Amino acid sequence: MAGAATPNRDSGADPMAALRIPPLGDAEFRFISGFVGRHCGIVLGAQKRQLVQGRLARRLRELGLTDWRAYCARLEQLPDEEIDALVSAISTNVTAFFREQHHFEFLRDEVLPALLARPGAPRLRLWSAGCATGEEPYTLAMVLAEALERHGKPVDARILATDLSPQALTTAQHGVYRADHVSGIDPARRKRWFEAGSGARTGDLVVRQELRELIAFRRLNLLDDWPMQGRFDAIFCRNVVIYFDKPTKVRLFSRFAEQMTGKGHLFLGHSESMFGLSEAFALVGRTIYRREGGS
């Protein structure tokens, strides 16, 4: 089981023995999966049971709990206090800079030139919905900043980056990454947009302030009310809706359409599709959709 303590070979005793967590029972798994579904829209099928057990066992130890019934009681009594830790534990924030590169090439070659060609001083808004630890919004910021440099005229441009996990958002806001984590970025681009860390950050690379100023990081549950007033020209919601059931996906795509400018673009993850879920978008590229109609 993930997170289990390693026995002390010298004494033969396990210092964590008193906090060994029993297997996750049927009733407790149903309670936890129902809780996550109601609060986050995430579907935890039976095949996720071992994952949930492994990911949450450490959380039970942190709380000093020794059984799943006690943890379910905590969820019931203190849902607002525990939801962040629960989601952070079971979420998989696997991401990388320029992941699914064709999306950023399409943004660079098709979306941004059309937006910047609009008359006057255009207003430009991008949304990274499910930004995880920041690689996606910082990649968007690099592509956007480079486009603005080529454009050479004033533009009101901003990126909103949201996620449900406060832990992931903290990492994103710090903008500090291991050198090997950014090694896949083109060297010239890496030199342009990152600087060497110092002190405790020695050996790491830090996102330059110029990029940071383009992004606003906020915690947001996509199932809750959205506080944003303006519309977005492009929304990246990749590898997020794969966890939702069909009714939740239908509602979410409808809300995305309402939150976008006419002909705005929605980017999904490589294993996600809008087929049979929305008539508000047309497929224009590999997991790239354009809003149809509207203004």
Q: Which helix (H) or strand (E) holds 206?
A: strand 204-207
Q: How far apart are CA 18 and CA 104, in angstroms?
A: 50
Candidate list 59, 61, 74, 163, residue with the active-site label: 163
**Which pairing describes strands 204-207 and 176-178: parallel, antiparallel, or unpaired?**
antiparallel
Those residues whose C-beta lies under 8 Å from the C-beta of residue 5, and which sit 6 or more positions away, are: 14, 15, 16, 17, 19
Q: Give catalytic status of residue 163 as yes or no.
A: yes
- Residue 40, burial from CB neighbour count under 10 angstroms (0-12, 13-18, 19+): buried
- Is 55 among the residues known to form the active site? yes
Determine the angle formed by the axes of helices 26-40 and 68-77, rounding to 10 degrees: 30
Catalytic residues: 55, 163
